[in-house]
């Protein structure tokens, strides 16, 4: 049950786009549609922003988009805003009937 691999940090200026990768294996990210992304502000509970790779829950901005290629999923935040500064976590279901998270990525808005 190795954690998915995410970059520790990414940064961008307001209005720019940033992309966060989430690399797993053929036993998790590569095998299932059930890849989700969470946004977490300091001291707060995680908030679901994408599920099933590309789907957004109601109320989540369409500036958040997702994709997957092989064993790597990606989250893109377009038109970066100050409130996007947070930690972002990816997660996938696995062939072992478990769930695995990435190490988290801190997004800094410059």
**Rounded to whole angstroms, how far apart are CA atoms 40 and 91?**
13
Query: How far apart are CB 80 and another protein at their closest, in Å?
Result: 22
What's the rounded Cα separation, in Å, for the pair 75 and 64?
A: 7
Provide the phi-psi class of 43: left if phi over 0, else alpha when psi is between -120 and 50, else beta: left
In whole angstroms, how close is the CB of 14 to another protein at the nearest point? 26
In terms of CB distance, is 62 or 97 closer to another protein? 97
Nearer to another protein, 52 or 83 (CB): 52
Residue 99's nearest CA partner among 8, 10, 30, 4 is: 4
Chain residues that interact with another protein, rule: CB under 8 A: 1, 3, 6, 34, 36, 38, 40, 44-48, 51-52, 55, 57-58, 87, 89, 91, 93, 97-104
Please, which residue, 1 or 13, has the CB nearer to another protein? 1
């Amino acid at each position: 049950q190795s954690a998915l691999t995410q970059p520790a940090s990414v940064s961008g200026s307001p209005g720019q786009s940033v992309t966060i990768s989430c690399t797993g294996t053929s036993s998790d990210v590569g095998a299932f549609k059930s890849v989700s992304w969470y946004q977490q502000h300091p001291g707060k509970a995680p908030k679901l922003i994408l599920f099933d790779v590309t789907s957004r829950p109601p109320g989540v901005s369409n500036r958040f988009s997702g994709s997957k290629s092989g064993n790597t999923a990606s989250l893109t935040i377009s038109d970066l805003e100050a409130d996007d500064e947070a930690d972002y976590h990816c997660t996938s279901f696995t062939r072992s009937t478990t769930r695995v998270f990435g190490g988290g990525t801190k997004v800094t808005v410059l």
